[in-house]
Every structure is written in structure tokens, then in C-alpha cells.
Structure 1
């Protein structure tokens, strides 16, 4: 009886604390921090990224969805990114349902589905940002974190922003970061930017407001390197023993597997 009463009080206490925290946060002057400062931090990150020719990093990403029967599911992947501006990029991603590599050398885009033992190549020229636009418009590949690879991240991210908050600081992977939050009519997004002379993005979270149950995409960045610290890469593509096909053959290479067809 004593344990049951204590547990009940504990639960009510936690609920009460959550309510107080929510109300306090909504009214706190800290929650209404200087919008201009937040914009300056994001612009500083954008300028820093634009000034880097060679960049490499590792990442962990989560795709959070809610099924029609209200079960929340999280699909996790990890990978690497290496770019050499203006027109070379290598991206890998390994998850529970796909093992994918993409290489762009400025003349050709190569995509390898290692789990399918198939690859495809498409003749293409242009910069990295032109490649990203092409993949979104023509191939239907929507990768929210790809905005972080564009030459003008600030303009890309601030498009249609209606609300800006500076939420102070946080620590991501041992790195102290500025924590910023933004809203548009379609999405809410947050970004944690490393403090100091290298203001790179440490974590980026996008939550959709236009889809039922607000699915969410998160990416956390580690092992950030620029300039001479980036390992040499000729961006050559090696398909191994995979069979050549078309992009249409590379089914099930997204982070969301077919088994969650009822997810929102």
C-alpha cells in the first residue's frame, strides 16, 4: 500500500513538474531570447560552411514515424559524407534495411545498393547544389539534411521562417553548442551549432506539421573535418561485384522500409 501510494504521488509529481516546466517555458524571458542573435549565429554557421572547400563528417540519423494505430517507430541509420566543392561528393548510409553509397564526380552520379547487389549510373554535370536540386525534383529524393551541404545554408534554411528562438546552449557529443529553434507553416526545426571558431552543425531536427502525427527527422554529426584534415579522395566509384541496372531497380533504399506502409 505504501509503495502504491508513493508511486502515485511520484507520477502526479512528475506530471506537475512537466506542467510547471511547460508553463514556465512559455512565459520565461529566456524563451523569448534575442531573435537577431539567433539569426546571427545561423548566418555565422552558413558563412563558415561556405568558406570550406573540403568537408567530411560522420553522422547518425533517426527517422521517427507514427503508425495509423498510434505506435511511434524510430528507424536509425549511420553514415559518412565527404564533399569537395564545387562538384564532388561521396555519401554512405547503413541502416537496418538498406546499405547505400552515392558518389558524384561532377560528370556522373553513381548509386550503389549494396544490400541489393545493384548499382546505377546517370550522366550529370553541375555543382553539388544543382545535384541536390535534381535529386529532389526529378528523383523525388527528399533529404532534409542536404540543405546543410548547400553553398548558402542561411538562405535555404530561413526560407518561409515565421518564428525564431535562441534557446541558449546545449552539449552534443561533448561539444558545447548554441541551440536555435525555427518555425515555418510546414515544419518546425532546431539546430545545435558548435561554439568557437568552427561553427559547424552538430545536430539538426526537422518536424513536419503537414503530416498526421508530426513525423520527425534527426541527424547528429561527429568527426567533423575540413581542409587538409580531410582524407584524400578521388571520388572514384567502385561497384564491387554488383550488377548494373537503372535507378528504378534500386528500390527500398530509403530510411523508411516498406513494412511501415501504414506509417504517417
Structure 2
């Protein structure tokens, strides 16, 4: 029987295949891989301890949220904002995107949400700490704070929950800052984090991939202008209605999330 002639790989394909093989060999080296796993977890623990020890934090951020349509088209929604936090119970979050211009303030007792485009605001009583507020926003009000896992005092425990695979991918550079690049996997999601090297190990980029969802959409947050301590200027976290916004029920505030209402799950528009 005549054998079919073998086709040579295109140089680019051959290079990619070689790189992939090299990566598999590098990442699959028994005891060396186990040591790297331990080092990767230690880097996350160091970051978590650093964040928990800081009483005042502020940073700017850029987020990208991927949405998969019913016809399998992947769309990317981008927004930017700023977070100012004073532990244990003060928070201000702004977010500006193509569909929303929102400010969230929390003074330890009252949560205020201002939709700047519509000039409407809503308030609800949520007495307690930032940790409690983050849980309430996510689970009951369905208004998650960008990168909320990173703001918790037990960030390490939250991040490492259900992790089944760990990879230390070496160095990466985010916004001119050299970082340790780490990758983790759970049964539901894959996530990566880039942690600034040096005495201020803050998160520079955090990416979550919904690996069990069609097309594996991602959510990413990139952090810049990191400040702590006395460099954080916010000292008043109370809501000030300087635009004479109309007060409404929380359900009346439209398009205040990263996912706009007309693209919500099950939407037809």
C-alpha cells in the first residue's frame, strides 16, 4: 500500500508546536513542579497578607468582561474606574463604561449607588464591615465590586478555595511593573494573577476564565496608580448629592453593572 506523502508543517505552526511541547515538558516535571506550586501559593499568601495589613488603599482599574451571545459570538465590554478603601468599613467605587457611569459609596452604615447618566440614586442600610458589604452586594443585591476577592482580609483563603492545579509562569510586565505571573485552576474556572515584585506585592492583573462555559469567556481587571497609607486622599466616604439626583428604589437603577441590562442573560435585544 502506498503511503500518503507527509506534509511539512508551516514554519509558524512548527514553531508554535515546539513552544507548546516545551511548555508541557517544563510544567510537568514532578518534584520541581511541586516546589514551584508551593512557591506560587507562597507568593499569593504574601500578597494577601500585604493587602490585609494596609488600612487605606486606592487604585485605578480597567476591566474587560467577555460576553458570549446565543450564536457563539464573543463580545468584549470595557470599563474603567477607581476604588478607595478605608478598613474596616469605608469604601468608594467609581466605574465608567460604554453603558454606565456609576459611583458606589459606603460609610459603614449606608450604601449609596448613584447612576450618573440618569442622575438617579438609591440607598440601603448595610451596617458592618467591607467584607460584609461585599457579600451583600454580590449575593443579595447582585452588584459585585470589581476584583472583590482581592479586597477581602482573607484573600488567600478565598482565592485558594477549590484550587486543583497551580503553575508558576515566571515573570511578566504589566504597565511597566515587573510581576510574578501565576496560574490556578478549579473545577469551575481558571484564573491568573500578576503580582508586583518587591516590597509592595499588590495585584497588577487578575483574570478569571469560565472554563466550563461555552467559548470560555473571561473577566479581567488591571490595576494601576496603586497607593496605600497616607497617600490615599479620601477621608469622607459619605454620599453627597451634589447633582440633585432623584432618589429611587434600587430596582429602578438601570445599567449600573458591567453587564448592561439589554445584554443580560436571557435578553432578546
Structure 1 residues 89, 262: closer, same or farther in 2, change over 3 A?
Answer: closer
- Picking from 62, 71, 74, the partner of 1:69 is 71
Q: Partner residue of 1:23?
A: 21
Q: Are residues 1:120 and 2:122 paired?
A: yes
Q: Partner residue of 2:187?
A: 185
Q: Secondary structure at the match of 2:10?
A: helix
Q: CA deviation at 1:124?
A: 1.7
- Picking from 249, 258, 265, the partner of 1:246 is 249
CA distance in 2, matches of 1:142, 1:178: 26
CA distance in 2, matches of 1:226, 1:258: 35
Q: Partner residue of 2:222?
A: 220
Q: CA deviation at 1:30?
A: 8.1
Contact (CA 8 Å) 2:163, 2:185: kept in 1 or not? yes
- Equivalent runs, 1:198-213 vs 2, <5 Å: 198-213=200-215
CA distance in 1, matches of 2:149, 2:215: 24
After TM superposition, the score normalised by the length of structure 2 is 0.89
Q: Partner residue of 2:139?
A: 137
Q: CA deviation at 1:212?
A: 1.7
Structure 1 residues 105, 35: closer, same or farther in 2, change over 3 A?
Answer: same
CA distance in 2, matches of 1:261, 1:245: 22
CA distance in 2, matches of 1:262, 1:211: 13
Q: Partner residue of 1:48?
A: 50
- Structure 1 residues not aligned, in runs of 5+: 1-8
Q: CA deviation at 1:165?
A: 0.8
Structure 1 residues 144, 233: closer, same or farther in 2, change over 3 A?
Answer: closer
Contact (CA 8 Å) 2:60, 2:81: kept in 1 or not? yes
Q: CA deviation at 1:69?
A: 2.3
Q: Summarize deviations over 1:152-196 as a string: whole Å, max 9, x none.
A: 110010111111111101000010000010100111000000000
Q: CA deviation at 1:20?
A: 2.1
Q: Partner residue of 1:96?
A: 98
The CA RMSD over aligned residues, in Å, is 2.0
Q: Partner residue of 2:153?
A: 151
Q: Summarize deviations over 1:2-37 as a string: whole Å, max 9, x none.
A: xxxxxxx9x933233222222221122588461000
Structure 1 residues 72, 15: closer, same or farther in 2, change over 3 A?
Answer: farther
Contact (CA 8 Å) 1:68, 1:263: kept in 2 or not? no
- Work out the number of aligned pairs and report it: 255
Q: Summarize deviations over 1:63-114 as a string: whole Å, max 9, x none.
A: 0122222322111000000000000000000000000100000010000011
